[in-house]
A and B are shown apart, each in its own frame.
Chain A
Amino acid sequence: MSPTAPANEPAILVDQSKNLFKVARRNFVDPEILAAEKQRIFEHSWLYLGHGSELAKPGDFLTRNVAGRGILFARDGKGEPRALLNTCPHRGMQVCRERKGSAKSFQCFYHGWIFGLDGKLRSQPDAESYNDDFKTLETSNMTPVARFESYRDFYFVSFDRNIVSLSDYLAGAKEYIDLICDQTDAGMNIVPGTQEYSIRANWKLLTENSVDGYHAATTHASYFDYLGKTTDMTLGDVAARPAGYGYDLGNGHAVIEYPAPWGRPVAQWISAWGEKGRAEIDAIYNNLVRRHGEERAKRISKLNRNMFIFPNLVINDIMAVTVRTYYPTAPDYMQISSWSLAPKGESEWLSKYRLHNFLEFLGPGGFATPDDAEALEHCQRGFANFQDVPWNDISKGMNSKRPIHRDELQMRVFWTQWNNQMFPAPASKKSSVAA
């Protein structure tokens, strides 16, 4: 695929003077676009691997697929997290075939090589058939992922050795990760139980959907019918609060932050939680005020945040906190993994209500996510007409000084970054002389 999009087939069409931002539907269906994305985006991003809480103690490990690669995520004997490419340096077999567990070492069963939690080769049968210094060679060990860094216990990997630091990459997203993690001073935990599902649609549709405020009233009408039975809060109560807006966080990340009438475990009470619940939520709120002051406590407690970190990490802090990643295996199919993130040491009552709150909306068995999936799958079917109806429109709110959460600034941020990485602007004439 050529490094630039042909002039007669741009991937996006932007005209600020006309408040126009269009996205080619080809981007969602073309296998060549997907192949280019794999090279130009997924190979040059920080990608979420897992959370520190998933490796509670030294020796704990899990295996996970990230951008099509098997990764072994383990805490070594000294307590240091490691990210190793799950492939034997001998003849390639996946060394660890378990989903998760605890171990002192990993043995590749094929020929019996044994590796430490740090991936270093510890022993091999018939070691005398190898040079004396074989075990000292870097190439005899399991290969660590090129880059591996964390922020607030979220661990990321990159396959690009030269990528900027994770902190630089996250840019303005850090502020929002902080707002979520500051819900507690005890640290956050990934709750046991992974929702692993799929949607028969292009992965980029889920990035858009995850930060879409506009679709809630109609796609999730039946959820709001249900919600009305569990709270006395009305949309009017919520409208009296600060409005919701979309924000560009830099580097392709974006967030919407907005009030909503559902219950928030930290910390917005609903009548369905009863008086016991009210006391507990009040205590949590007061504690936040003590630690962070009234303004920040209000922001943490009463506003919701739907955020994506480019390209495919969603962290939604809504009626529970969900962490979600998704990878394409075809232009019209993605595999999704979704977790609940919760403060450590939550009371029995709140842990239960948080999870119940999560399920009523989020996840493939809830009252909302399946309708999102239905919408995305029918968009994908609609894209079959892309040669005759070539463009999506994401210009909502371009005419506004401050786009609201129901506008489409978040999508424009994503697509601008996507386009920059997929089709970088051609080098200036000066710098191309040497070629």
Chain B
Amino acid sequence: MADVTRAQVEDFLFEEADMLDKWQLPEWLELFTEDAEYQVPCMDLPADATPDHSLFYIADDRFRLGERVKRLMKRTAHVEFPHSKTRHMVSNVRVKPREDRDIDVTAVFATYRTKDGITDLYFGSSNYRLMPADGTFKIRSKRCVLDTDALRPSGRISIVL
């Protein structure tokens, strides 16, 4: 654990962002562990809210995350067909050690989504739990907390943040 540097984590997060922007979603899915979780809470919830008791926007286990990817690669995911253009920016990356072998990462994200002449911006903080593996990492959990008061004017989270 002492060997993990911010640069290593940043490289990993930049690679993740690039996969998403290139719509390499099946490859992106491979970055996740079998017990992975991907969550986007509603903005009026306290920081410790869980999707078991509170309404989120997204609370995927690994199975549903896989289904999300499958769906997005289909023509019948109408909101993302044709694919929107995205640009994921990752910043303010900080690495925190844990008791176990995993590492906690906090970062700031700003993701632009353009479709049909409209560009929307999603921004906030992202919290990752990463598992070191084979000289790189796997994502055990990814939680994106949006900073706006409401999901407006975008009105959707059809892309992966």
On whether the beta carbons of B45 and A193 are closer than 8 Å, the reply is yes
Q: How far is the CA of A222 from the CA of B74 in the complex (A)?
A: 8
A351: which B residues are within 8 A, CB to CB? 52-53
User: What's the Cα separation between A192 and B51 when bound, in Å?
Assistant: 10
* Cβ contacts under 8 Å, B42 to chain A: 193-196
| Assembled-state Cα–Cα distance A198/B43 (Å) | 14
Nearest opposing residue in chain A for B150, CB measure? A196
Residue A149, interface by CB 8 Å? no
CA distance A41 to B54 in the complex (A): 34
Say yes or no: B77 contacts A364, CB within 8 Å: no
B 64-78 to A, binary, CB cutoff 8 A, 1 in contact else 0: 100110110010111
Give chain B nearest CB distance to A34 CB in angstroms. 17
Over the window 48-62 of chain B, the binary record of Cβ atoms lying under 8 Å from chain A Cβ atoms (1 yes, 0 no) is 010111111111000
Residues of A within 8 A of B52 (CB): 348, 351-352, 355
Contacts of B53 in A (CB 8 A): 191-192, 351-352, 355
Chain B residues near A198 (CB-CB < 8 A): 150-155
B117 to A: closest C-beta gap in Å: 10
**Which residues on the B side are within 8 Å of A196 (C-beta)?**
42-44, 149-152
Query: Interface SS of chain B: helix, strand, loop or mixed?
Result: loop
From B40, B45, B68, A192 is in contact (CB under 8 Å) with: B45
Answer yes or no: A424 CB below 8 A from chain B CBs: no
In the complex, the answer to whether A355 meets B51 with C-beta atoms within 8 Å is yes
| Among A128-136, A248-256, A366-374, the stretch in contact with B | A366-374
The answer to the question of A340 belonging to the interface, with a C-beta cut-off of 8 Å to chain B, is yes
Pick the residue among B64, B74, B77, B150 that contacts A197 (CB under 8 A): B150
CA distance A351 to B158 in the complex (A): 25
Nearest Cβ in chain B — how far from A256, in angstroms? 22
Residue A99 at the chain B interface, CB threshold 8 Å: yes
Contact of B58 among A223, A365, A374 (CB under 8 A): A365
From A191, A222, A369, A370, give the contact of B55 (CB < 8 A): A191
Q: Does A226 contact B (CB under 8 A)?
A: yes
Cβ contacts under 8 Å, B77 to chain A? 222, 367, 371
**In the complex with contacts A196-B149, A219-B78, A373-B79, A355-B155 CB distance below 8 A:** no
Chain B residue with the shortest CB-CB distance to A195 = B42
* Selected contact of A99 from candidates B44, B59, B152, CB within 8 Å: B44
Once bound together, how far apart are the Cα atoms of A81 and B44, in whole Å? 22
Which residues 199-253 of A have a CB within 8 angstroms of B? 199-200, 219, 221-223, 225-226, 229
Q: Mark B130-161, 1 if CB is under 8 A from A, else 0.
A: 00000000000000000001111111111000
Q: Please, which residues of chain A bring their CB within 8 A of the CB of B51?
A: 352, 355-356, 359
With known contacts A198-B151, A229-B67, A355-B59, A192–B54 Cβ distance under 8 A: yes
| Bound complex: CA A194 to CA B157 (Å) | 15
Nearest 5 pairs of A and B residues by beta carbon: A193-B55, A365-B57, A196-B150, A365-B58, A370-B79
Binding site for A on B (CB under 8 A): 40-45, 49, 51-59, 64, 67-68, 70-71, 74, 76-80, 116, 118, 149-158
Chain A residues engaging chain B, CB cutoff 8 angstroms = 99-100, 191-200, 219, 221-223, 225-226, 229, 333, 335-336, 339-340, 348, 351-352, 355-356, 358-360, 363-365, 367, 369-371, 373-375, 377, 381
Q: List 8 A-B contacts (CB under 8 A).
A: A196-B42, A222-B71, A356-B51, A359-B57, A359-B58, A363-B57, A364-B155, A374-B78
